[in-house]
């Protein structure tokens, strides 16, 4: 199914079938899709926390708004999408070292230039107080990759912003790891009575959404 | 090509072939992919400005960082992704009216509940001063839809944050329309000498990216 079809057919799942689990093979593909997500200056300012056991679901439950419990209780897996609180020297050096190991630099000079451009860009974002908002934007690209990636594997999903970030971050000790959560995605297979599965997708008409320049 | 393949093969295009144009049929699909993008509480807080003529490219050029001119000069089409500055009553009423016309509400009571929940959520975001950042997150989902959607149609793309937003917004009179630009995506077909086409994709290894909860 291509992205055009996916975007027509994908829907937000309200009720999961708790008995159906995503296979390790499919979870491996979803992790690879997350890993390969593009980001500004290849900054990869993210970390993903994955849970699927009853224990993990109970652990995060106190941070989830009660109206979202049907998703986090009954999904197969959940992914907490996090930004790195700071993109420090060691993270940026690791990105350059990886690019170097992957053969992206024809010579040392190009490597040095790439490395300093990225560091300049990141410090500019930091100085303007935009580092975390910028990192969050990149994580939303990863979220979309995950939603469409799941749909392409026949897996249903729900993007969840309705939770208490500081509570969740405390439960998962994210500050100690230099992380902040920005959203959760639940994944699994829809229950037969999922009310949203049969409802028509609704969007504003194209004529209100696009302006074509001469 | 499914999303797993797309995420492995897609790359950021550095050099476009200016002689190759995206067909109206493919542009229609890309617009439909943008239109169908999911957003929190179906808020659809966006508007997209599309240009392809030399005139349109010259118009935006003064707002683009010079290092990005090769993309905006030579692409087939560009899309300026905008948030709505405010999600006012009339926008939110239009969303509910559309959902109603699309038959998403079994009865009047469910319609009223859906409408007031969305309005409550939006006013909560506004009160916390998070309305624009929240809208921006949704637009990044649309950006990802566009990047992957283009790749699935064999169209190359570049996400561009390197431009002067206030300058671009002034050039396009966005404030008068209640809009703010948040990013640009260029679309087209890569030039034969596109340096990035043959370089291996580089990402940090999975073991640094994922934490699996017990």
Where do the DSSP E strands lie in B41-164?
46-51, 77-84, 156-160
Q: pTM of the entire structure?
A: 0.97
Contacts of B38 (CB under 8 A, 6+ apart): A10, A12, A147, A159, B141
Sequence-separated (6 or more) residues with CB below 8 Å from residue A201: A8, A11, B36, B102
When pLDDT is cut at 50, 70 and 90, the band that residue A198 belongs to is confident
Structural contact between residues B67 and B162, judged by C-beta atoms closer than 8 angstroms: yes
Order of strands, edge to edge, in the sheet holding A179-188? Answer: A156-160, A179-188, A77-84, A46-51, B210-212
pLDDT digits (tens, 9 = 90+) for B3-25: 888 888 889 999 999 999 999 99
Do the Cβ atoms of B148 and A147 come within 8 Å? no
B102 close contact with A: CB closer than 8 A: yes
Q: Match 């934490």 to its residue by tokens.
A: B211
- For A50, the closest of B94, B204, B212 (CB atoms) is B212
Do A151 and A157 meet the contact criterion of CB atoms below 8 Å apart?
A: yes
Structure token digits, residue A45: 């300012």
Confidence of residue A195 (pLDDT cuts 50, 70, 90): confident
The alpha carbon dihedral of B205, B159, B131, B28 has a sign of negative
- The string of pLDDT tens digits covering residues A87-97 is 999 999 999 99
B chain contacts of residue A29, beta-carbon cutoff 8 Å? 4
Chain B residues in contact with A3 by the CB 8 A cut-off are 3, 6, 33, 145, 148-149, 151-153
Read off the pLDDT of residues B93-148 as tens digits, 9 standing for 90 and up: 999 999 999 999 999 999 999 999 999 999 999 999 999 999 999 999 999 999 99
With beta carbons less than 8 A apart as the criterion, state whether A145 and A35 touch: no
Neighbours of B22 (CB within 10 A): 21
Report domain extents, chain B. 3-84+131-203
- In chain A, the N- to C-terminal Cα span, in Å, equals 34
Q: Taking the C-alpha atoms of A152, A157, A159 and A164 in order, what is their torsion angle to the nearest 10 degrees? A: -150
Q: Give me Rg for the CA atoms of chain B.
A: 19
Residue B120 in tokens: 């409550």
| Separation of alpha carbons B146 and B128, rounded Å | 30
Query: What rounded mean pLDDT belongs to chain B?
Result: 96
Residue A28 has pLDDT above 90, yes or no: yes
Tokens at residue A144, please?
């979309």
Q: Does domain A3-84+131-203 have CATH number 3.40.109.10?
A: yes
Residues B122 and B87: beta-carbon distance below 8 Å: yes
Residues B140, B145, B146, CA angle at the centre, nearest 5°?
A: 95
The arithmetic mean of pLDDT across residues A134-162, rounded, is 97
Query: Residue B147: which of A38, A47, A211 has the nearest Cβ?
Result: A38
- ipTM score for this prediction: 0.96
CA distance linking residue B144 with residue A38, whole number of Å: 9
**Percent of chain B clearing pLDDT 70 (strictly above):** 100
Please say whether the beta carbons of B122 and B95 come within 8 A.
no
Stretch 36-95 of chain B: residues touching chain A, C-beta under 8 Å: 36-38, 40, 42, 44, 46-51, 53, 55-56, 59, 94-95
| Contact between residue B61 and residue B72 where contact means Cβ atoms under 8 Å apart | yes
Find, in chain B, the residue whose alpha carbon is nearest to that of A42. Answer: B203
């Amino acid at each position: 199914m291509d992205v055009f079809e996916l975007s027509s057919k994908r829907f937000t799942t309200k009720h999961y079938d708790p008995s159906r689990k995503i296979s390790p093979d499919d979870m491996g593909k979803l992790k690879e899709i997350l890993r390969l997500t593009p980001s500004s200056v290849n900054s990869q300012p993210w970390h993903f926390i994955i849970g699927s056991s009853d224990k993990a679901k109970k652990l995060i439950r106190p941070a989830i708004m009660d109206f979202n419990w049907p998703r986090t209780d009954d999904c197969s897996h959940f992914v907490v999408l996090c930004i790195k609180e700071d993109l420090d020297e060691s993270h940026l050096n690791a990105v350059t070292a990886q690019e170097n190991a992957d053969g992206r630099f024809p010579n040392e000079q190009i490597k040095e230039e790439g490395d300093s451009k990225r560091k300049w860009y990141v410090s500019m974002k930091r100085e303007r107080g935009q580092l975390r908002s910028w990192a969050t934007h990149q994580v939303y690209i990863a979220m979309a990759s995950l939603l469409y990636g799941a749909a392409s594997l026949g897996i249903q999903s729900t993007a969840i912003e309705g939770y208490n970030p500081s509570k969740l971050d405390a439960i998962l000790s994210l500050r100690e790891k230099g992380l902040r959560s920005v959203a959760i995605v639940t994944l699994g297979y829809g229950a037969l009575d999922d009310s949203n599965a049969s409802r028509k997708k609704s969007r504003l008409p194209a004529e209100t959404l696009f302006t074509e320049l001469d």
